[in-house]
Structure 1
Amino acid sequence: MSNDTAGIVGDTVPPYYAAILTTVLATDPEDLAGYDAASERMLDLARSMDGYLGLEYARADGVGVAVSYWRDLDALRAWREHAEHLGVQLLGRQRFYRAYRARICRVEREYAWRRGDPLGAPPYR
């Protein structure tokens, strides 16, 4: 499946890993100073990492969910332990977030559907 639906990661073949980060942003604008720049930098950095497969995210009312996809646990571990990422993680705990939860999952199976596909057809993959 190609990534022709904006916001949905495609071209993944299980098994692979997903890191799910659910966050609640701080409410004080001073605490959020630099958050957008740090987020953009982390996305650029993740994209440069060996084993990075993609990112899906959504945010509403101060709550965000980001799911990053990784080839294997070694790639995910390298991301978690990257020095610059560790620094931003600390800023997240000190300022950016009121709370967060991270979950690591192994993706065993996936399937997809797109508008225009026959409604009675089984999802592909």
Structure 2
Amino acid sequence: MSDQWTEPVVAPVPAHEPPYYVVVFTSTRTGDQSGYGETAERMEELVKGVPGFLGMDHARTPGGLAITVGYFRDADAIEEWRADVEHRAAQERGRSEWYERYSVRIAKVERSHSFAGGGHEA
């Protein structure tokens, strides 16, 4: 008998061969989130088309702090994502409607490794 309350399996993006870059977007949201979900889904779909995009991790605390980490092969891939017209429009809407505050940090990864328990290799 299957357990109807089983949560989907969630796993972090596996480590990539350095060097590569991370963009860390940390935010708190406003009370009005109308249209946010659809836009977030579209942005996730769109960023996957950027050459050099390696993956993305998301987390949200019970207190409302959200963290998204995007992984990119090089700075050119980050710049292509930053300059995307749809992404720019979503950023504007985010500042005017969805985000109370946010910060963006970009870092170069020099060392990286993964672990997956249960006999799985990462």
Would you say same fold, with TM above 0.5? yes
Name 2:108's counterpart in structure 1.
106
Query: Deviation at 1:62?
Result: 2.0
Name 1:69's counterpart in structure 2.
71
Indicate the SS of the match to 1:99: strand
Output the CA distance in 2 between the equivalents of 1:51 and 1:6.
Answer: 23
2:21–2:107 CA contact under 8 A, matched in 1:
yes
% identity of equivalent residues: 36
2:16–2:113 CA contact under 8 A, matched in 1:
no
Output the CA distance in 2 between the equivalents of 1:79 and 1:48.
Answer: 9
Instruction: Please tell me the root mean square deviation across aligned C-alpha atoms, in Å.
Output: 1.8
TM-score by length of 2: 0.85
Name 2:48's counterpart in structure 1.
47
Output the CA distance in 2 between the equivalents of 1:49 and 1:6.
Answer: 23
Query: Deviation at 1:11?
Result: 5.6
How many residue pairs get aligned? The number is 112
Structure number with the bigger relative contact order (C-alpha 8 A, sep ≥ 6) is 2
Q: Does 2:84 align with 1:97?
A: no
Indicate the SS of the match to 1:90: helix
Name 2:6's counterpart in structure 1.
none
Query: Deviation at 1:48?
Result: 1.1
Please list the CA deviations of residues 13-32 of structure 1 after superposition, one character each: whole Å capped at 9, or x if unmatched: 110000000010112xxx31
Indicate the SS of the match to 1:17: strand
Please list the CA deviations of residues 29-76 of structure 1 after superposition, one character each: whole Å capped at 9, or x if unmatched: xx3100000000000000111110000011123210000000100010
TM-score by length of 1: 0.83
Name 2:18's counterpart in structure 1.
14
Q: Unmatched 5+ residue regions in structure 1?
A: 118-123
Output the CA distance in 2 between the equivalents of 1:62 and 1:38.
Answer: 19
List, as ranges, runs of 4+ consecutive aligned residues in structure 1 with deviation greater than 2 Å: none
Output the CA distance in 2 between the equivalents of 1:10 and 1:91.
Answer: 31
Indicate the SS of the match to 2:11: coil
